[in-house]
Structure 1
Amino acid sequence: MQRYQAVDPTDLTKIHETSLKILEEVGVIMTYEPACELLAKHGAKVDGKKVLFPRKLVEESLKLTPSSFTLYARNPDGNVLFNLEDTHYCGPGGSCFVADLDHGRRPSKKEDFINLIKLYQSMDLIEMHHVPCEMTDVDPAIRNKAVVYETMKYSDKPLMPFMFTYEEAKECIEMAAAPFGGLEAVKNKKPVLLADPCTVTPLCYDDKSLATLMAFAEYGQIQLINSLAMAGATAPVTLAGNVAVQNAEILAGIVLAQCVNPGTPVIYSASGSNANMRTCSLTIGSPECALMSLINGQLAKFYHLPCRISGAITDSKCFDPQLGYESMMNLMTAEMAGGNFILHGGGIMATYDTVSFEKSMIDYELMGLVRRIHRGIEVNEETLAYDVIKEVGPRGQFLTEEHTYEHFRDAHYLPFISDSLNVAQWEAGGKKTVAERANEKWKKMLEEYVQPDFPAELDAELRKHLIP
C-alpha cells in the first residue's frame, strides 16, 4: 500500500525542530526521583521536577534506539518481528466496560476478560494481547499480575499488561520470562513483554509511567512510549502544535529509556486526537484523529523507529453507520500511515470506554479487508492469464477453468462475517444483520476454542505471583 504523506518533509522537519525547542527551553515535568537523577547524570538540566533536554542528548539517544527487534512468544510460531515495514495487529486495551447483544453494556469482569483472550487467541491476524478489559471483580492489588497469568493461561501469544510500580513491572516481566528460563535468561536478549508508559499531557510523566519505563528498559523489554495529546484541551488546538507537544513528550521518554539501557527497543507510540470543542471531551472518530495518525507515522519513520497507530476505534456507542465509517477510516489510515503496531485492532467503541464482542468480529473483518488492500496485486505472466483469456475467448466463462481453480483461494478475500448473498438468499436465511451474524460468530468461536499448551509447572510458577 502507498504510504500517505500528510505533511511534506520541510513541514515535518519544522515539527521536529519545535519539539526539540520545547524539550530544551520549556522542559518536561518528571515526578520520579530516580529518573531525574539519571537524566542529570547524562547531561539534562534538572530544576526541581522539571527536566530540560539538550538537543545533543536527544539526538544521541535516537541513534541508540533500534529500528528492528523481535518480540518472543511462548509458541515460537507467534514471535513478532518489528521493523519499519511490516504491520502487526494487537487487540484492544483499557476498557472498563464490555457489551454484547445478549446482555448489553456492563462493567467488565474476569469471565469477560478470559472470553476475549480466547477469541483473540483464535484470530490469526491478531498477534498480541493488551488488556482487553479490566477485571473489575479481581483485587486491584494483584490485578495486573492476574492479567499476565490469565493471558498466558489461555493464549500463547505475546502480551502487554498495565503496570504501576517498578516492583510490579519487574514482577510482570519475571512472570512472562518464566517459560524462557527466568529474568536473567531474557534480560537484554529476549524481549518477551510489552509495556505502554503514558505521558500526562501536557509535558509531564508521573511516577507510575516512569517506573514502568525504567524497569522495562533495565531488562531490555519493548515499550510503546505513548502520548495522547488532546488538541484544544491538553495541547494547542492547532494540529501542528498538538503534534509538536506530543512528539516532545515521546522523545523525552525515549531519552530516558536509552539512558537506562542503551539499545532499549522502543515503539514510537502516539495516540493523540482532538477535543470536541462543544463538550471538551475526547473524540477519536474525527478526521483530525486520522490526520494525526498519518503525521505520527511520518515522524516515526523520520526517526527510523517502528510506530504504533490506533486501529478500528470509534466514538459510536451502538451498531450504527457511525461505528462502521469511523472504524474503517481509522483502521485504513493506520495502514496508510505505515503503522507497524496497530493497537486496538478490534472491539473498541464509545471512545475507548467499551469493548464489544460483536464489534470484535466486525473489526476482524475490517482487518482482513485492509490487509487484502495492503497486499495489492501481483502482475506477471501467470496472473495476467493471457493464454487462458485466448483459450476462453469472447462470450466464454472462466468459472470451470483450471487457472481459476489454482488461484481463487488467494486471488480474492474470503469474508469472515460479511454478507454478499442476493436479496432472496438473505431473506431466506432470516434477514440477519451484521451484528446478529457477529453475535453468532463469537459464540461459535468460544465453543470451538482450544486452549494452547499450558504446562502444570508453569501454572504453579505463575500462581506464586498471585498471592496478595
Structure 2
Amino acid sequence: MTDTRPKRGGREERLAKRAAKPVFDPCPPGQRGGAYRPLSEAELARIFDTALDLLARLGMGEVPERLSRDLLAAGATRGEGARICLPRTLVQEAIQGAAKQFTLHGRDPARSITVGGDRVFFGTGGAAVQTLDMDSGRYRPSTLVDLHDFTRLQDVLANVAWFTRCCVATDVPDNFDLDVNTVHALISHTTKPVATSFTLAEHVAPIVDMLDIAAGGPGQFSERPFVKAHISPVISPLRFGEDAVDVVYECIRHNIPMSCITAAQAGATAPATMAGFLAQSLAETLASLVMVHAIQPGFPMVFSNWPLVIDLRTGAFSGGGGETALLNAASAQLSNWLGLPSGVAASMTDAKAIDAQYGVEKGMTSLAAALAGGNLIYESSGMTAALLGVSFEGFVLDDEMHSMSYRTLRGIEVSDETLGFDAICGAVLGEGHFLGEAQTHAAMERDYFYPRLADRVEPRSWAEAGAADAWTRAKTRAREILDSHHPEYLSAEQQAAIRARFNILMP
C-alpha cells in the first residue's frame, strides 16, 4: 500500500520551527478570568455591607482641606472630630459613575490594552531598592542603570503587558531628579503602557512637559496619555495621606489615569481575620474611588485593592504564601463583582534566590489572581525578597510562567473538531496511535505552549548538556536580550530637547 500521508520534515527544520514564534500563540495576554470564586454571593454582600458601614459611620481621618470641601460638596458629612463620613448613597453613586473600562495607551498603539471586564493582564510594579546581580548572585543597591536595563529587558517580553518601574535608582538622591530620570528611562526604552510614581505634586507638571516632547508637542500627552500614575492616597487604617492626595489632583488636572492603591497589612494596619481585612481594605479603596468621583466623576482609576500579609510571628512583610494567594483572589472577585477595573498583586515571593520557594510562591499566587479575574496583576514579574529585590533572571522566568497561566485561563475548547470522534475511530482501527495525524499537528500548534526555559529532556541528555538549572538558563537568556536589544524610542531631537530642560543623568 502506498503511504499517502504528508512526509514530515527533517529534524533540524522541526526544531527551527519550534524555536520560532508560533503562527498562532496558544496563550496570549488578555485571557478571560473569573472562574475561581473564593467568596460566595452572600459573603461578598456581607463584606461590602461592612465596608459601607465603616465609611458611613466611622469615615475617613486626616482629610486634607481641599479634599474635605470637595467631598462635602459631593454629599459627604462631618463625623466625630475631624473625620469625614461617606454615606452609602455617595459610595454607590461613585461606583455607578466610575469608569468601568478604559484604555491604557502604549506609545505604540498596537501595545495598548483595555482594562476592565474579565480580561487578565500581568504587569509590573514595585520599588525594589536592591537588585540581584547577575555576576555575583548577591543583592546590591539598585541603580539608574539597572532601571534602564530592566526597561530594555521587558520590552521584548510579551507577557509584561505594561511596565511600572520595578526598582528605585538609589544612586539618584534628589527626589525631583529621581522622578524625572525614572520616567525618562521608561519612555526611552519601551513603547508599552508605562507607569510611575510622583514623589510630590509639583513634580507632575514639569514631567508632563517632558512627556509632551515624547508625544510630539505641547498638550499632546494629555490627548492620549501613555503613562499612568501609581498613588496610595489612603493610609491604613482609614485615613488620607495629604501628599498623595495632592498628586491625585495634579494627575486629574493633566489627564493621567491612576491606580489608586490600598496596601493594608493583615494584623498590622488591618485586621488579622481575613473577612475583617477584606472589609476594611475594600472600604479604603472605595474611599479613593469616592475621592476621584468628588474631583472628577468617571475619571479613569484602577481599583487597586492589594491585600498584603505580614508574618505575625516576626512582623515582617510576607509576599508569598497561601494567604496572599487567597486574599488577592478574593479582592479581585470583590472588585469585579462591583463592576470596577480591578488591580491586585501577586508573584511577590519572599525567596531571595531563584529556587524552589521562588517557583512555588510565584506560581501559586499569580495563578490564583489570574483565575479570580484580576484585570491588572501587579508585581508579577521579577520581584523577589518580599518586594525588596528584583531580578533580571526572574523577569524571563516569570514571563514563561505567565504563558502557562494564560494557557490555563484559556481553557478547553469543545467542538466537533476538537472532540475528534472520527480521528479516534481512525486511530483505533488503524495504526493504534495519533502520531503524525493531521489533527495532532493542528493541535500541536494551536493548543500547546512550548516553554523556552523549562527543561523537558530526559536526565542523561540534561547531564550531557551541562546539567543547567533554571537560574542558569534564565541568566543566559537575560544576558542575550540585554546584549542584543538596545531600543531607543526617543529621536535625537527629542532627547536633546529633554536634556536641555532636565538633569538627565544617563549619558
TM-score (norm 1): 0.94
Report percent identity of matched pairs: 27
Pick from 171, 176, 179: which aligns with 1:137? 171
Aligned 8 A contact 2:187 2:489 in 1: no
AA in 2 matched with 1:24: A
Pick from 123, 144, 154: which aligns with 2:189? 154
AA in 1 matched with 2:344: I
Pick from 17, 31, 36: which aligns with 2:49? 17
- Deviation string 1:379-417 (CA, Å, 9 cap, x unpaired) is 223323334434444544433333333442222111031
Aligned 8 A contact 1:70 1:80 in 2: yes
Pick from 292, 295, 311: which aligns with 2:327? 292
AA in 1 matched with 2:47: I
Pick from 347, 351, 368: which aligns with 2:386? 351
Q: Which moved more, 1:299-308 or 1:316-325?
A: 316-325
Distance 2:217 2:71 in 1: 29
Pick from 231, 248, 251: which aligns with 2:286? 251
**Aligned-partner SS, 1:196:** strand
Q: Which residue of 2 is the match for residue 449 of structure 1?
A: 485
Distance 1:441 1:186 in 2: 35
Pick from 128, 132, 151: which aligns with 1:99? 132
AA in 2 matched with 1:269: S
Distance 1:27 1:465, change over 3 A: farther
Pick from 89, 112, 118: which aligns with 1:56? 89
Aligned 8 A contact 2:333 2:374 in 1: no
**Aligned-partner SS, 1:142:** helix
Distance 1:244 1:27 in 2: 13
Distance 1:207 1:463, change over 3 A: farther
Q: CA deviation at 1:183?
A: 6.3
- Deviation string 1:41-100 (CA, Å, 9 cap, x unpaired) is 223234675322122221111111111111111111111111211111212421110103
Matches within 5 A, 1:53-452: 53-103=86-136, 104-140=138-174, 141-181=176-216, 184-187=219-222, 190-198=224-232, 199-393=234-428, 394-452=430-488
AA in 2 matched with 1:17: D
Q: Which moved more, 1:47-56 or 1:147-156?
A: 47-56
**Aligned-partner SS, 2:435:** coil
Distance 1:382 1:246, change over 3 A: same
Distance 2:231 2:34 in 1: 31
AA in 1 matched with 2:263: L
Distance 1:242 1:381 in 2: 47
Aligned 8 A contact 1:71 1:192 in 2: yes
AA in 1 matched with 2:147: F
Q: Supply the RMSD in Å over aligned alpha carbons.
A: 2.1
Distance 1:54 1:175 in 2: 40
**Aligned-partner SS, 1:160:** strand
AA in 2 matched with 1:60: E
- Deviation string 1:286-316 (CA, Å, 9 cap, x unpaired) is 2221111122112111221111121222112
Q: Which moved more, 1:70-79 or 1:452-461?
A: 452-461
TM-score (norm 2): 0.87
Q: CA deviation at 1:272?
A: 1.4
Q: CA deviation at 1:181?
A: 4.9
Aligned 8 A contact 2:130 2:388 in 1: yes
Q: Which residue of 2 is the match for residue 33 of structure 1?
A: 65
AA in 2 matched with 1:72: H
Distance 2:61 2:500 in 1: 37
Distance 1:101 1:190, change over 3 A: closer
1:460 aligns with 2:460: no
Distance 1:363 1:197, change over 3 A: same
Q: CA deviation at 1:373?
A: 0.9
